[in-house]
């Protein structure tokens, strides 16, 4: 794996994360007849309007509504994938995976292994994550650590429009089950996205979004933007390198280790609860393989193990943001 920039100034178009995911879905549906989308209100694209317009373009055979039944949706997708389809199933809010967890953990993740490689499960499960919309505890969670912990599942959580398009396309093309997490607060964030239909972002390849010399910040989803703004704000004072891991599992350890070797300092910013999570995994890998490159104890920025509250003031108290990233950066400088 190598470091890549997630955007290419040649042949790009500025679009939002929402549009980038939609464009990726559209291109893959055009390229492969076996790709179908289904979920609750999928035909109207009502859930954050990501799939808006695809029903009109591809019809009900390929874009279908399901009854509200996440276990049957995910389990059905696994059965369909094992027999030849490439279904993309929407689980709306990631907090809802509780009701389909058996199909996620025991079927999607284990089927290929326990059958001795007999089956392939090319299914993509899309779900939104993240707080910031006063949607309260059961519609605001960030659960990608939970899923990344389960053997047999690949987990994607892009932070830019370009990564969103490239990764949804790679996820659909992957013969492995992929859980694709979309942070709902960055759907409207815009950026350059390659228009070439062959453009994909490989699963397990991080992106160095900003080159720096003094500290490495590994930041996901919404916090990628926060970290970049902190880097801008500290310009002249400190040189901050910002990495979007883009894929949670597999994780591009090499790019992170190379960066820490250069900077000697590490901050991990991710909206997961902080205990036993993504932060800990990144830190463990850097400590295991790059302990002596560290000049300061690594720091984590995340949710202090609480559910996300409803009231905007309380929510703001719990959610990590740019000042939290900045404080962490200053602690390791």
The binding site for another protein (CB under 8 A) comprises 1, 36, 61, 64, 66-67, 69-85, 87, 100, 102-103, 106-107, 111-120, 151-152, 154, 174-176, 203-204, 249-251, 253, 288-289, 291-292
Which lies closer to another protein via its Cβ, residue 215 or residue 248?
248
Residues 6+ apart with CB under 8 A from 89: 37, 38, 39, 73, 74, 76, 77, 123, 124, 125, 126
Going from the C-alpha of 284 to that of each of 44, 210, 280, the distances in angstroms are 43, 23, 6
Task: Please say if 144 is a catalytic residue.
Answer: no
Which lies closer to another protein via its Cβ, residue 98 or residue 316?
98
Q: Provide, rounded to whole angstroms, the least separation between the CB of residue 227 and another protein.
A: 24
Per the CB < 8 A criterion, the answer to whether 185 and 288 are in contact is: no
Which lies closer to another protein via its Cβ, residue 79 or residue 158?
79
Q: Provide, rounded to whole angstroms, the least separation between the CB of residue 46 and another protein.
A: 18
Going from the C-alpha of 5 to that of each of 193, 209, 239, the distances in angstroms are 12, 6, 18
Which lies closer to another protein via its Cβ, residue 277 or residue 320?
277
Q: Provide, rounded to whole angstroms, the least separation between the CB of residue 307 and another protein.
A: 24
Q: How far from the centroid of its chain's Cα atoms is residue 91's Cα?
A: 14
Which lies closer to another protein via its Cβ, residue 10 or residue 291?
291
Structure tokens at 114: 């326990």
Q: Provide, rounded to whole angstroms, the least separation between the CB of residue 275 and another protein.
A: 21
Report, in this order, helix, strand and coil percent for the chain, each rounded to 5.
40, 20, 40
- Cα 297 from Cα 331, distance rounded (Å): 9
Q: Provide, rounded to whole angstroms, the least separation between the CB of residue 280 and another protein.
A: 15
Which lies closer to another protein via its Cβ, residue 47 or residue 103?
103
- Cα 207 from Cα 7, distance rounded (Å): 10
Going from the C-alpha of 329 to that of each of 73, 94, 133, 238, the distances in angstroms are 42, 30, 27, 9
Which lies closer to another protein via its Cβ, residue 93 or residue 187?
93
Q: Beta strands 190-194 and 12-16: pairing type?
A: antiparallel
Q: Provide, rounded to whole angstroms, the least separation between the CB of residue 284 and another protein.
A: 11
Residues 6+ apart with CB under 8 A from 314: none
Structure tokens at 229: 């703004």
Active-site residue among 139, 144, 149, 279? 139
Q: Provide, rounded to whole angstroms, the least separation between the CB of residue 132 and another protein.
A: 31
C-alpha torsion 226→94→55→171, nearest 10: 70
Per the CB < 8 A criterion, the answer to whether 71 and 57 are in contact is: no
Catalytic residues: 139
């Amino acid at each position: 794996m190598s470091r890549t920039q997630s955007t290419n100034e040649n042949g790009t178009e500025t679009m939002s994360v929402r549009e980038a995911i939609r464009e990726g879905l559209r291109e893959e549906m055009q390229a492969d007849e076996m790709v179908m989308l289904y979920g609750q209100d999928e035909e109207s694209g009502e859930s954050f309007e990501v799939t808006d317009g695809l029903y009109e373009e591809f019809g009900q055979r390929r874009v279908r509504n399901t009854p509200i039944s996440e276990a049957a949706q995910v389990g059905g997708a696994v059965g369909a994938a094992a027999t030849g389809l490439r279904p993309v199933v929407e689980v709306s809010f990631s907090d809802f995976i509780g009701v389909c967890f058996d199909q996620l953990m025991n079927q999607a993740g284990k089927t290929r292994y326990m059958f001795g490689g007999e089956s392939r499960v090319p299914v993509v499960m899309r779900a939104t994550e993240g707080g910031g919309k006063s949607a309260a505890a059961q519609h605001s969670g960030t659960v990608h650590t939970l899923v990344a912990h389960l053997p047999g599942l690949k987990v994607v959580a892009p932070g830019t429009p370009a990564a969103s398009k490239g990764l949804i396309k790679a996820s659909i093309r992957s013969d492995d089950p992929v859980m694709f997490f979309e942070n709902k607060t960055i759907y409207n964030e815009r950026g350059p996205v390659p228009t070439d239909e062959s453009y994909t972002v490989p699963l397990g390849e991080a992106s160095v979004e900003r080159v720096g010399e003094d500290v490495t910040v590994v930041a996901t989803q919404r916090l990628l933007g926060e970290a970049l703004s902190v880097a801008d704000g500290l310009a002249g004072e400190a040189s901050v390198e910002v990495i979007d891991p883009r894929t949670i599992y597999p994780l591009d350890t090499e790019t992170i280790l190379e960066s820490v070797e250069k900077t000697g300092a590490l901050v991990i910013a991710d909206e997961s609860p902080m205990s036993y999570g993504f932060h800990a995994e990144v830190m463990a890998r850097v400590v295991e393989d790059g302990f002596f490159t560290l000049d300061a104890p690594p720091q984590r920025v995340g949710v202090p193990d609480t559910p996300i509250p409803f009231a905007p003031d309380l929510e703001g108290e719990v959610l990590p943001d740019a000042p939290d990233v900045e404080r962490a950066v200053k602690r390791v400088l």
